[in-house]
Amino acid sequence: MTLYATENIRNVAVVGHPDTGKTSLVSAMLFDSGTVNRLCKVDDANTTTDFDEDEHDRKITINTAVANFEHHGVKVNLIDTPGYGIFSTDAMQGLRVADAALMMVSAVGGVEVQTEKMWKAATDYGLPVLFAINLMDRDRASFSRVVAALQKKYGREVTPLQLPIGEESSFSGVVDLVSGKAFTWEHDESNTVTEAEVPGDMADAVASAREALMEMVAEQDEELMDKYLEDGELDAETFAKGLKRAIVARELLPVFAVAAAKNIGVQPLMDALVELTPAPDWRPVQVTVDGEEKELEISSDSPFAAYIFKSISDPFAGHITLMRVFSGGIATDANVSNSTRDSAERLSALSIPLGKDLEHVAELAAGDIGALPKLKDTHTGDTLCEAKQNIKLTAVTIPEPAISFALEAESKGDENKLATALVKIRDEDPTITIGRDPQTKEMLISGTGQLHVEVVIGRLKKRYNVNVVLHQPKVPYRETIKSSAEVTTRHKKQTGGSGQFAQCSIIMEPNRGKGYEFIDKIFGGSISQTYRPAVDKGIQEAAERGVVAGYPMVDFKITLVDGKEHAVDSSEMAFKLAGRKAFRDAAAKCKATLLEPIMQLEVYTPEDHLGDVMGDLSSRRGRVQGMDSEDGTTTVKAQVPLAELLTYAPTLRSITQGRGDFHMEFAQYSEIPKQLQEKIIAAKSTDEEEEDE
């Protein structure tokens, strides 16, 4: 395998809304470059970058994958990313290691939800963006309409570099506005391109669009503007250099036209990736060295630093780690440091990924993307660097889970197998969280959406042969008291020989927000010091089961004021049992009630869906606390009971057409309205009866 120098590498993340043809375009480029010997199709489940079984079954991209091709002596690493919002973190990881974003936009649908999200992410990373308007061969496709929508959204910097020849079923090629040449393709999906004359009916439109493009390039540089005004145009070399400089500086956002599935318009786009996107050394990378922020030049002379952006658990190849080398070259068998986890790793082999296939190489240059097998303690988001260096690259932020389900193995014998499989899946996908609710004792699996969790369940079955049962998690209700009471309780039992005797007097009162408190106010020896902790322990054990519906009792104070003991029959066990009984007797007099967890919720919604979002929050017993608006998005802050949010993620997605998002965290416990308490108590009784059967 050829070792490509940094200046001969391009790293491009292919991003965009679902069903805009990202994977189809990657497949066409691999075919046209001769990397693969046929034009693979998503519908045929044979594309290079969609190799997971779930991707084949669902015909969507779930995981970020990498493929590469050589074009005009330059290696182009294509990072094919998921389009669905619930897999956005994987797309963010792809952008993190890219030097440009190729934004796929539907010629039919135009600017959509993920277009906006990926635009923002690319902007945050400061990446040049190229727009490819795909599906030009579809019914109702319109290049001009989508360009106008892009310009309205992202400004006049959005500038076509091509005009399409025909649209819908008549789309057959493009006119390149830089060279003024026309290129056409037959509708046979081959890679045969023909240079043709510009259609006569397009001459005026081409001349006007080319002039607008040249003016846009000239505007970005005073020297170029002077030359343009003086000569009336820019020569080819000056035009090309000015164009690339403007694109890299994000002062110009070029637009291309393609029909990837028909392999029309693909080769000129490949040319653009080579000629108009920057090499990895276009700017230094921001790093932290021993806690201090610095800039690191991307070159072979800089210290080695690489970012881990994807982990893959392959049933045959084992654990594979994908990395982008940001600085310094690296060779096989190198000893490196994982600065994120303060551990050492040995790079036993280096490979170049082509989807799931790996081609071994001896070394990688700064800026290249490679794969590493069987690292023992390295995960997505980690930084590898030279031994004894402490270089850290900023990791992609992992979002909070949006939805949770209770999870259990279908077969009790598979519990250990399930735990092992979940660890492997969690390592591959850091947006999945696994935990156990300490109160309900349920194992919880949380993800960014229901489809996300369903994909994990599918992997458990297909890869690890573990069948599981999913159901909504239980809400961790609590109980508390609203008034005070004093009781005296006796525990007495005689069974022959030594019996059991204990008597205690307690005062029970609310202790809202301060948890449980036990105060010993016995003066004298009515109860020996030895037995008093047993009363406390008995009360705490009884509080775990509550008195209303079997939920833990919280926020109450017990004062032990008196009692009696027997010289022979008293024991710690007797006083513990007396404490339990005293708790139940007192709680029955203290107006015990149910509490529910209240979540602090922040909902992000486009302004045109605000009314529907507010109405839905009201139906969920939400209390809106405020709103902030910025750039067409409104943030609604509210407190909502957790019980009303178990199915909120799919509802919000439906209300906002996939454009809304939310974050929640625990705020407080609050008393449940009486009418709802009765339903919860009845449901709890039914569950317990079913468990006893």
For the segment 576-589, what is each residue's pLDDT rounded down to a tens digit?
999 999 999 999 99
CA distance 248 to 274: 13
- Residue bearing the bigger pLDDT, 53 or 496: 53
**330 pLDDT above the threshold of 60:** yes
pLDDT at 325: 97
pLDDT band at 54 (very low <50, low <70, confident <90, very high): confident
Among the listed residues 410, 412, 406, the one whose alpha carbon sits nearest the alpha carbon of residue 436: 406
The model's pLDDT over 441-487, given as tens digits with 9 standing for 90+, comes to 788 888 887 788 888 998 898 888 999 998 888 888 899 999 999 99
**285 pLDDT above the threshold of 80:** yes
Rounded mean pLDDT, 332-352: 92
**1 pLDDT above the threshold of 70:** no
Strand partners, 507: 486, 559
Q: Lowest mean pLDDT of 112-116, 294-298, 536-540, 571-575, name the range.
A: 112-116
Work out the percent of the chain whose per-residue pLDDT is above 70: 97
**Edge to edge, what strands does the sheet with 357-361 contain?**
343-346, 335-338, 383-386, 305-314, 318-327, 369-373, 350-354, 357-361
Report residue 475 as tokens.
Answer: 């809400």
The residue to which tokens 């199915």 are assigned: 647
The residue to which tokens 């990397």 are assigned: 35
Work out the percent of the chain whose per-residue pLDDT is above 90: 66
Find out whether 24 and 32 touch, Cβ atoms under 8 Å.
no
Q: Lowest mean pLDDT of 72-86, 116-130, 286-300, 490-504, name the range.
A: 490-504
pLDDT at 497: 66
**693 pLDDT above the threshold of 60:** no
The model's pLDDT over 635-689, given as tens digits with 9 standing for 90+, comes to 999 999 988 988 888 899 889 887 787 877 788 899 999 989 988 888 877 766 6
* Residue 535 backbone class (left: φ over 0; alpha: ψ -120 to 50; beta: rest): alpha
Among the listed residues 254, 328, 264, the one whose alpha carbon sits nearest the alpha carbon of residue 32: 264
pLDDT band at 253 (very low <50, low <70, confident <90, very high): very high
Rounded mean pLDDT, 525-546: 93
pLDDT at 120: 92
pLDDT at 437: 75
pLDDT at 97: 97
pLDDT band at 388 (very low <50, low <70, confident <90, very high): confident
Rounded mean pLDDT, 208-234: 88
CA distance 294 to 394: 12
Rounded mean pLDDT, 338-350: 92
pLDDT at 683: 82
**499 pLDDT above the threshold of 90:** no
Rounded mean pLDDT, 599-609: 89
Annotate 644-672 with three-state secondary structure: HCCCHHHHHHHHCCCCCEEEEEEEEEEEC
- Residue bearing the bigger pLDDT, 156 or 664: 156
**335 pLDDT above the threshold of 80:** yes
User: Where in 270-329 does DSSP place strands (E)?
Assistant: 285-289, 292-296, 305-314, 318-327
Mean pLDDT of the chain: 91
Rounded mean pLDDT, 423-440: 84
pLDDT at 640: 95
**51 pLDDT above the threshold of 80:** yes
pLDDT at 426: 87
CA distance 485 to 590: 6
Residue type, 31: F
Domains in the chain, CATH or no CATH each: 6-197+252-282 (3.40.50.300), 285-393 (2.40.30.10), 403-471 (3.30.70.870), 479-591 (3.30.230.10), 594-675 (3.30.70.240)
- Residue bearing the bigger pLDDT, 662 or 378: 378
Rounded mean pLDDT, 480-504: 89
